[in-house]
Structure 1
Amino acid sequence: MTDRYAVIGYPVSHSKSPFIHAQFAKQTRQDLHYDAVEVEVDALAEALAHLHAEPYRGLNVTLPHKVEVAKHCEQVSARAQLAGAVNTLLRTDSGWRGDNTDGEGFLRDLKRLGYAVRGARVLVLGAGGATRGILGPLLAEQPALLAVSNRNPWKPEALAEQFKAVGTVLPRTHLAIKGDRYDLIINATSAGHTGQMPRLPGPLLAQGGACYDLSYGSAFEPFAAWAREQGAQRISDGLGMLVEQAAAAFEIWRGVRPDTAPVLAALRS
């Protein structure tokens, strides 16, 4: 019987995950079928029970469920617990085990691109579920400074408290970063999905600095345009992160890690 997997989110029809995991399965000679399942916010608990009964062997989780889905897991990995967000579910006999591969995928892509975090001044824009997933791994790389900026101060302050056991996060409002300069600016907001860019005060990028957006496709364009105005030496989207975090999830499910390079190349083409 073919094992079944899926990505859940709302909306989810645009997801590239079915293509990515189909490529991984072909590459590693794994017998599996992967779906995209749209799950509205108020239907999450019911959907998880239904997918468990089907039975699906594992799920990827995307917006807007990454934080809420953790409440429905019988077990949560240490890194997902630290992040307070889950993007990967593994079926157990009685429920779901939650994990978070976003940070791992993000760092693997940064290293593939040759971005240096150690000793760098790093700014993360946004304080939602996407930021939660990458803060722990970023702090582990020992940047000189790691600031999280948001429109209001409460979310960054909550993150600074949440992650203080593993490192120092400087909470900032967008207005408060005026005059600062950063070596690496990471966009973890969802503004690009509506064709927008957070309003930021003046130049923020240090000379020779780089910009990275967790989004890709058309959602990447507003940040990319802003980064060019900042004089960014390098600008990258999050497609590589998407493939890398998917590979980490695939390894959790199937016990083998696929080669991400040909899959990323196929997506780029």
Structure 2
Amino acid sequence: MTSSSPLPRYAVIGNPVAHSRSPQIHALFSTQTGKPLQYEPLLAPLDGFAATVQAFRDQGGLGLNVTVPFKAQAFELARGHLSERARLAGAVNTLWLQDGAWHGCNTDGVGLVSDLLRLGVTLIGARVLLVGAGGAARGVLQPLAEAGCAQLHIVNRSPERAHDLAAIWVAAPTTTRTRVTAGSLAEAGTLGGWNLVINATASSLQGAAPDLPSRLYAPDALAYDMMYAAAPTAFMRQATADGATRSADGLGMLVGQAAESFLIWHGVRPDAAAVLTTLRAALLAKG
């Protein structure tokens, strides 16, 4: 069976997936770059990721963005054709067909770094606190290190997970000199404060902030939440109260990782800033 649409076919696959902004983002990229495409949300049963991907391929599908909870399964699907980013992240959020096989990459960290640079953050030599030790945190370690961060300290509610993630990174074959350490949430502080504190947990989705100690922020530090909302998130409010000079949510990261996927698929890098402006306006209008 093949798709009835003459346009190149792409999708975002997840469960749930109806809330995803990826179709809107890629439609804006398509208009901006003059690259026509069909892009849709694709709901997969929790036990039916591989079958859903195969059906999508049979219908002419060429590429997929992968969201929760399927990034690890996407990694396995493309295990023989993984980018270095994907190998170090242990997860795939972008799939594409090449020479009859699925290839995989992880663009989350690139999206984060591009947004931090847009916000004027100096990453070379930066001291960074990464809150959370799940897939979101693992996916951004390499790009942050490659951007020149001097120290990455991973803290988590379950400190053993933070130590495990740090150990995986230390054992990985990388050429960066970034010092990676780990500890509990209570061990998040450092003398002089952090230049950048990133919330890689989903706490803001529940309207809560991580249980962090106070006095975490160096002068002119940025607090960055990977989640996004129309109003400042619980983590952003916590950071402001604790003395963070600036705070930002993860909408720019979302657009940035999508732009990297678009580049992989179509060979053209779209203007992420213009699309971010459109999405932010729409989010505030609904707010």
Shorter-chain TM range is over 0.9
For the 8 Å contact 1:6–1:18, the answer to whether it is kept is yes
Q: CA deviation at 1:93?
A: 5.0
Q: Which residue of 1 aligns with 2:188?
A: 177
* CA distance in 1: counterparts of 2:56 and 2:47, whole angstroms: 16
Residue number among 192, 217, 223 corresponding to 2:229 in the alignment: 217
SS in 1 for 2:47: helix
The letter of the residue matching 2:119 is L
* CA distance in 1: counterparts of 2:201 and 2:256, whole angstroms: 20
The letter of the residue matching 2:273 is A
Alignment of 1:61-140 (within 5 A): 61-73=66-78, 74-92=80-98, 94-140=100-146
For the 8 Å contact 1:192–1:219, the answer to whether it is kept is no
Q: Which residue of 2 aligns with 1:233?
A: 245
Structure 1: gaps spanning 5 or more residues: none
Q: Which residue of 1 aligns with 2:284?
A: none
SS in 2 for 1:91: strand
SS in 1 for 2:61: coil
User: Percent identity of the aligned residues?
Assistant: 44
Indicate the larger mover: 53-62 or 138-147: 138-147
Q: Which residue of 1 aligns with 2:262?
A: 250
Indicate the larger mover: 15-24 or 41-50: 41-50
SS in 2 for 1:114: coil
TM-score (normalizing by structure 1): 0.94
Structure 2: gaps spanning 5 or more residues: 1-5, 282-287
The letter of the residue matching 1:177 is A
Matched, 1:42 2:53: no
SS in 2 for 1:169: strand
Q: Which residue of 1 aligns with 2:153?
A: 147
* CA distance in 2: counterparts of 1:104 and 1:202, whole angstroms: 29
* CA distance in 1: counterparts of 2:13 and 2:122, whole angstroms: 33
SS in 1 for 2:71: coil
Indicate the larger mover: 16-25 or 201-210: 201-210
Q: Kindly report the root-mean-square deviation, in angstroms, between the aligned alpha carbons of the 2 structures.
A: 1.7
Q: Which residue of 2 aligns with 1:26?
A: 31
Q: CA deviation at 1:158?
A: 2.0
Could you say if the C-alpha distance between residues 138 and 58 of structure 1 is closer, same or farther in structure 2, counting changes exceeding 3 Å?
same
Alignment of 1:166-205 (within 5 A): 166=174, 167-178=178-189, 181-205=193-217
Number of corresponding residues = 269
* CA distance in 2: counterparts of 1:150 and 1:6, whole angstroms: 33
Could you say if the C-alpha distance between residues 44 and 218 of structure 1 is closer, same or farther in structure 2, counting changes exceeding 3 Å?
farther
Q: Which runs of 4+ in 1 moved over 4 A?
A: none
Q: Which residue of 2 aligns with 1:267?
A: 279
SS in 2 for 1:71: helix
SS in 2 for 1:163: helix
Could you say if the C-alpha distance between residues 219 and 60 of structure 1 is closer, same or farther in structure 2, counting changes exceeding 3 Å?
farther
The letter of the residue matching 1:18 is P
Please list the CA deviations of residues 176-214 of structure 1 after superposition, one character each: whole Å capped at 9, or x if unmatched: 225652121001111111222221123322233210111
* CA distance in 1: counterparts of 2:119 and 2:190, whole angstroms: 28
Matched, 1:159 2:165: yes
Indicate the larger mover: 62-71 or 240-249: 62-71
* CA distance in 2: counterparts of 1:245 and 1:175, whole angstroms: 31
* CA distance in 2: counterparts of 1:134 and 1:188, whole angstroms: 9
For the 8 Å contact 2:130–2:200, the answer to whether it is kept is yes
For the 8 Å contact 1:182–1:206, the answer to whether it is kept is yes
Q: Which residue of 2 aligns with 1:206?
A: 218
Could you say if the C-alpha distance between residues 85 and 9 of structure 1 is closer, same or farther in structure 2, counting changes exceeding 3 Å?
same
For the 8 Å contact 2:129–2:188, the answer to whether it is kept is no
